Amino acid sequence: MKALRFASARNLISAVVFVFLFISVVSVQSVYAQADKSGMPAREMLNVTVVSVRPDMVMDFENLIKTEYNPAFIKGGGKSSEVWQTASFGTAYEYIFVQPVEKFAQIDGPSYLMKGAGAEGVKSFLGKVGKMVNGVRSFVIQTRPDMSFTNKMEGPPNIVVVSHVQVAQGRAGEFENFILNEWVPTVKRSGISGYWVSQVMFGGNVNEFITLTPQANWAELDKGPPIVRVLGAEGAAKLMAKLPNGVVTNLERYISRLNKELSVMPAAK
């Protein structure tokens, strides 16, 4: 995922507190979002928190999530908490927590962690986790099902290619039109299981779009990008030429995998 802007030592503990109280990034579960009257899945808000863990504390951190955080989260009423990790390429020892936000009003009340563990339990948990992390970044995204698609899936993907796309101020409409009218129709022809788009709401650049392309395995990456599989290198270049110059100001790409052992996931519909 995107490189962290690390919290200073002075603010680190407060950042950790915010992370695990608030969340108590595009989610696999959002693929199964309920459709609205038009048949289009409704947009969802998701809280994405990227936690950088100290290399010597990775096993302790994972054990803490499994034995203390997740049980309290579930006991407090939490239903879904996906945990992704950067895979091979990108910043090491990053854990990406993705949880739904039904509405911001839920932050006014006690968190799932507080409900499940109580004040003393939260104090104990935060005291432990604060010693394990180097930095935290949290932001809220909104899914864009109008720019996405999902084919038949047997279950969550093993890995996903994650792209952070920075769009020039005032030109989001041009980017959206390109994705809707050029990119998605072509990518669908490649036979991949899906292409999911979300957009940053709070905690970052609101002109940033995050796209996820699921992969069955590492070998699938050898086939090249979906548009190249469909159009070939020359055809893909022609397609990209249709994107107006200057619309995209920066593009970063990473690979993440779902850590099922650390995740809390309801049964897929």
Residue 179 CA to residue 184 CA, distance in Å, equals 6
CA–CA distance from 173 to each of 177, 207, 229, 233 (Å)? Answer: 6, 10, 27, 27
Mean pLDDT of all residues in the chain? 84
126-176 pLDDT per residue, tens: 899 999 999 889 999 999 999 999 887 777 787 899 999 999 999 999 999
What percentage of the chain exceeds 70 in pLDDT? 83
Residue 152 CA to residue 137 CA, distance in Å, equals 33
- Are 213 and 195 contacting, i.e. CB atoms less than 8 angstroms apart? yes
Q: Taking the C-alpha atoms of 164, 170, 171 and 177 in order, what is their torsion angle to the nearest 10 degrees?
A: 100
Residue 75 has pLDDT above 60, yes or no: yes
Amino acid at 5: R
Instruction: Of 59-73, 97-111, 202-216, give the lowest mean pLDDT range.
Output: 97-111
Q: Which two tokens stand for residue 103?
A: 């509405």
190-211 pLDDT per residue, tens: 989 899 999 999 999 999 999 9
- Are 54 and 134 contacting, i.e. CB atoms less than 8 angstroms apart? yes
User: Can you list the domains of the chain with their CATH numbers?
Assistant: 9-141 (3.30.70.100), 143-255 (3.30.70.100)
User: Residue 93 pairs with which residues in a beta bridge?
Assistant: none
Residue 9 has pLDDT above 60, yes or no: no
Q: Residue 217: what pLDDT?
A: 86
Instruction: Of 20-24, 194-198, 220-224, 229-233, give the lowest mean pLDDT range.
Output: 20-24
